[in-house]
A and B are shown apart, each in its own frame.
Chain A
Amino acid sequence: MEYTYQYAWIIPFVPLPVPIAIGLGLLLVPTATKNLRRAWAFPSVFLLSIIMIFSADLAIRQIKGSPIYQYGWSWTINNDFSLEFGHLIDPLTSIMSILITTVGVMVLIYSDNYMSHDQGYLRFFAYMSFSNASMLGLVTSSNLIQIYLFWELVGMCSYLLIGFWFTRPIAANACQKAFVTNRVGDFGLLLGILGLYWITGSFEFRDLFEIVNNLIDNNGVNSLFLTLCASLLFVGAIAKSAQFPLHVWLPDAMEGPTPISALIHAATMVAAGIFLVARLFPLFTSIPYTLNLISLVGIITVPLGATLALAQRDIKRSLAYSTMSQLGYMMLALGMGSYRAALFHLIAHAYSKALLFLGSGSVIHSMEPIVGYSPDKSQNMALMGGLTKYIPITKLAFLLGTLSLCGIPPLACFWSKDEILNDSWLYSPIFAIIACFTAGLTAFYMFRVYLLTFEGNLNIHFQNYNGKKNSSLYSISLWGKKGTKTIKNKILFSKMNKKEKASLFSKKTYPIGGNLRNMMQPLITITQFTNKQTSQYPHESDDTMLLSLLTLVLLTFFVGYTGIPFDQFDILSKWLTPSINLLHTNSNNSLDWYEFVTNSILSVSIAYFGILIASLLYRPVYSSFHNFYLINSFVKMGPNRIFWDQTINVIYNWSYNRGYIDAFYAITLTRGIGGLAELTHFVDRQVIDGITNGVGVTSFFIGEWVKYIGGGRISSYIFLYLFYVSMFLVISNLLLSR
């Protein structure tokens, strides 16, 4: 039994042979390696499933109550300073490693098919395995140095994977944005680590917590400085988990292939921030201000992400903002001190969101042959609709994921989100109201996505109307960051001005004039299409993709049951007992039925309300006529209507333009740095060069001047001689006479 723990250090190293072999193969024997192709997928899946079994074993041991295990090697740099490398197995590690491996295996199986026609198939698997390895390294690391090391590696993998299709300038810019934004977080993390090392003299978690607690008890440390360091550590988590000020990279990260978005930008890597805060939770609990900061950032991010998700056209971007909002829930939970709820939501959300992303990948895959391979078209929800007919299994999976994220009872996210909402009522009513409101918003935007994609009928005729603009954007912004930025801005603003007609939101005005047309359209188009080509319909994805989708559906169904807050079921609490004991909180007293039911009724009814509004606004009219009348009655509500319209427009603009935050950053930061560059360039060119050149020029002029003095004219020599002598006489006379 000890052996399992002792050899747990192998966890991050097991997936490594695949990327190494692929890399070497591509460098040395490219053609042979490429010919093997799909043979490479097998070892990566195989190795990762070995880890999955291994970490399941570890998890079972942890549930049975075996102790936290830590093992380290020290690497002495000199007598006074040494680094320890090791691994730490505790409940948090086992939860995270199970999460990473299960989602990872599913995504790898899925992407075998998804990427099968891509040129960079091998590269993809190498990157994926490498990112899995570094993520596993992150969760098993036992000190801050290792955390930082793997943190950066994970960031690098994310950079590589976002920029996977690097020939697209948008993707190239997106990966750069992601990396630099994350680097800002790393900056904070690094400074926090250094500061804590200064305070405590240790990088190792348990020593760190003990020393900090001792210091706080003895008043041995400046509390302001300690708070600052802890907050800086949290900055790292903000960037990685896409929390409020540094969230801008996440939606752009959707430029990567969809399996990446499922694995890295929904389930694992973005959870690293949550993981870091959870890992350092004993530290943060002893510093209340930092906890307040965490919950504040969480509560800002929750509604922000939700509102930004409202009007996105791109199916993946909308899911990305949803991820951001859900991560905000976890941060909020951590800030409130409910460790268990945060981790529970982390697990539940990871499975649901991975399911949703894989589902959207399936949708994109089915749309691509019809509308074209540009993400502006194939991911555009305006062009989708009515996919239920064509891809029923994907639809089922997507619907279940949506329901889970909305918080509908038997599914995973219901249990976890409910717990967070309950805890937030105990923490602060204002926060709780915001959180509950956002739960409604979540239901609204998730159903918006679902309805736009799967209900109604296929809207590929919008292609000209919508796609042209996008394609022009695409072709203009061939080169240059600055150029793209301005063009993007221009188009955004122009769209903003005339968007009332173009907006998806205005589907609500559609029925007034367009009811008849909408009813007619399917008949016409369908006949036309059947006449032309039968292959013009979306196709259901292949079996391997569906396999991983369905497995994730099962996981989404059942993972919620691990954490039901009643005594006999509550595996999660048993699992987390050591950590919770470490925190000295006795928050795991189980609720009674009555309290639980009243709380959950509230949250479920909010979710249903959101779903109802979404279906009122986005449900296609021809399928349900009574809704049409209802909307008409809404629309004709009279004087309120203008106000209502304006509000909606404001929300729409806010959401469509990403809350103006990206534009703000572009203006302030990019231009600021540009200005700084101008300034330094000016200093270089004018001032420093000016001084050196000035010395040269001055000496030149002096020489010129001196040249005339020594011109060889006797008269001038005599003149100067007499002049100096007389000056000397005058001065000496003056001095002597004194």
Chain B
Amino acid sequence: MLEHFCECYSDLSGLIPCPVLGSITPLFIPNSRIRPIRWIGLCASLITFLYPPVPRIQFDPSTAKSQFVESLRWLPYENINLYMGIDGLSLFFVILTTFLIPICISVGWSGMRSYGKEYITASLIREFLMIAVFRMLDPLLFYVLPESVLIPMLCGAEHLIFAGIKLFLCRGLVHERRQIFLWIASFASFAVKVPMVPVHIWSPEAHVEAPTAGSVILAGILPKLGTHGFLRFSIPMFPEATLRSTPFIYTPSAIAIIYTPSTTSRQIDLKKIIAHSPVAHMNLVTIVRGEGSSSSFRALVGRPLQKPLAEKARRASLHSLRGSRTAHSWKSEGPYYLPNPSLRGTVVTILYGSGGNRRTPISGGESLALSNIQGIGGSIPPMSSHGPVPPALFLCVGVLYDRHKTRLARYYGGSVSTMPNLSTISFFSTLANMSSPGTSSFIGEFLILVGAFQRNSLVATLAALGMILGAAYSLWLYNRAVSGNFKPDFLHKFSDPIGREVSIFIPFLVGGATVR
């Protein structure tokens, strides 16, 4: 039994049953006995959280292939199978999901009186679905699962990607022009999730309406579904189209980076202000996806390009790409993955920092030819750092809301004199939000800008401008809520977070430091 358990633990098959079991068990306990339900939920999520070290140890960063693959023949005549696996990309997201769920459960610890069972069950089911999404390698199921994850609000645009996938499945190989159409379809669906600017409006609204735990998930994981989908499917499936349509990615991202911070200065709701920060962050990531696509494109060709020759080489590479694609169909190689092992290696090394060996300095000419690989590498750390940062901010607001039952910024002020611990924590979160050095966001943002600057200086300049605005609004928020005169007229309870609440925050501070 124990051996079987260990075996089950060492490959990742337990990662899905664990939350499922955790969500089923409370159903047999009457709702009046809230304590065992809570503990079962917490334990199930914690056990799930202990899984990621396993792949961390056993993970082989040198290969690009998905590891821990499980497959299940499902609809063989349509060539639809249940493929699950994990690679450098999805490993991080799985870790993030399993990290956030126990926190969500403990956030609602004392709040769940009447709906305790539903709360636990819903959280664990959500965890299961998200893990499944991140591990899913089959496009059809990848379409189905986010649909079922949550938020009917998002579903509209996903039918487009369904159409795209269907076409892709039928045709096998797609013509370049049609590729662009499909790319737009899939992009539309992912853009809603990210959210990019014309369709960002749902994000602040949803955050305001959601409870704290909901906001944590909403800010921590949901935007990553978009970027993850983009990296996993759009780029490998439609590389040429992605390369062609980089302006489509750049323009709304750059607009969003300027747009959202300036909107925040008009908001009065604490949560709404914070809700804009994921938008700006994730758009920074999409910039890299734009350029990452082209760098992955280069990586496909497998050699660095001389800058003056770029145009010529691009054409040549288009041909070579087509050649290689026709030679061996992707399907035969199994699940979809980023096509070049070195690129995958990049992604993985970023996560697990294989540092140490000295490098000879690059000479000037060579550096111009340096292929822009730090871009896509850089897009992973911001996503990863973005995981803990806005949830931490939301938790801070949640603590304030628990105390004072208002989210309007004007009622707050001088919290530092009564809540020094909370002020310290929110100061660190604010610093991380504006990605100042020493926090997890810094390296990611820096790498993004290094990459983006070489690809498109204007976009990088705008993105860096967003940095100023981001600092302005985060500090403004912090100053309004924390420093200044204390307002005893509005605030009556003066209890600093202790015990449970501080212990919720500690993993964020630790996680923020280690994630990079």
Contact = CB atoms under 8 A, between A and B. Distances in A.
Interface in B351-377: 353-359, 361-364, 366-368, 370-371, 373-374, 377
A74 B357 contact: yes
Nearest to A197: B450
B132 to A, nearest CB: 30
Nearest to A151: B437
Given A77-B374, A80-B373, A153-B438, A187 B467 contact: yes
B333 to A, nearest CB: 24
Given A77-B374, A207-B361, A479 B349 contact: no
A82 B357 CA distance: 10
Interface stretch (B222-230, B239-247, B453-461): B453-461
A223 to B, nearest CB: 15
Interface in A45-71: none
A77 B349 contact: yes
Contacts of B454: 198
A676 B431 contact: no
A478 B485 contact: yes
A118 interface: no
A79 interface: yes
B146 to A, nearest CB: 21
Given A180-B475, A198-B454, A149 B350 contact: no
Nearest to A225: B457
A220 interface: yes
B345 interface: yes
B259 interface: yes
A677 B450 contact: no
A80 B485 CA distance: 51
A496 interface: no
B370 A201 contact: yes
Q: Is the interface of B mostly helix, strand, loop or mixed?
A: helix
B277 to A, nearest CB: 15
Interface stretch (A331-339, A639-647, A680-688): A680-688
Nearest to B375: A81
A166 B266 contact: no
Given A167-B484, A179-B471, A190-B464, A674 B377 contact: no
Interface in A186-241: 186-187, 190-191, 194-195, 197-202, 204, 207, 211, 214-215, 220
Contacts of A150: 437
A423 interface: no
A145 B377 CA distance: 18
Interface stretch (B74-82, B169-177, B412-420): B412-420
Nearest to B376: A78
A36 interface: no
Contacts of A79: 342, 346
A180 B471 contact: yes
Interface string B425-442: 000000100001110001
B457 A195 contact: yes
B263 A81 contact: no
A202 B450 CA distance: 12
**Residue of B355, B420, B482, B483 most packed against chain A (CB within 10 A):** B483
A195 B453 contact: yes
**Could you say which interface size class chain A belongs to?**
35 or more
B259 A201 contact: no
Contacts of B413: 479
Contact of B262 (A197, A207, A680): A680
B485 A169 contact: yes
B468 interface: yes
Given A78-B346, A172-B484, A220 B416 contact: no
Contacts of B355: 74-77
A440 to B, nearest CB: 38
Given A167-B416, A176-B475, A176-B479, A148 B437 contact: yes
B374 A80 contact: yes
A677 B366 contact: no
A680 B466 CA distance: 15
B472 interface: yes
Residue with the greatest number of chain A CB neighbours at <10 A, chosen from B364, B436, B446, B486: B364
A673 interface: yes
A201 B475 contact: no
B464 A191 contact: yes
Contact of A187 (B368, B437, B442, B468): B468
A200 B364 contact: yes
A334 B353 CA distance: 41
A207 B479 CA distance: 42
Contacts of A171: 483
A75 B410 CA distance: 45
A345 B345 CA distance: 51
Contacts of A480: 410
Contacts of A14: none
Contacts of A689: 201
B201 A684 contact: yes
Nearest to A481: B476
A137 to B, nearest CB: 10
Nearest to A202: B361
Q: Which among A191, A220, A481 has the greatest number of chain B C-beta atoms within 10 A?
A: A191
B198 A479 contact: no
Contacts of A166: 416, 482-484
A184 interface: yes
A80 B437 CA distance: 23
Given A172-B479, A183-B467, A195-B457, 17 more contacts: A76-B349, A76-B354, A77-B374, A78-B374, A79-B342, A81-B447, A156-B436, A163-B479, A167-B416, A172-B483, A172-B484, A180-B475, A198-B457, A211-B363, A680-B262, A688-B198, A692-B201
13 contacts: A78-B345, A78-B350, A81-B374, A145-B446, A150-B437, A152-B436, A167-B416, A194-B450, A198-B454, A478-B485, A479-B410, A479-B487, A677-B266
The 9 closest A-B pairs by CB, nearest first: A201-B367, A166-B483, A194-B453, A172-B483, A149-B437, A677-B266, A81-B374, A211-B364, A681-B266
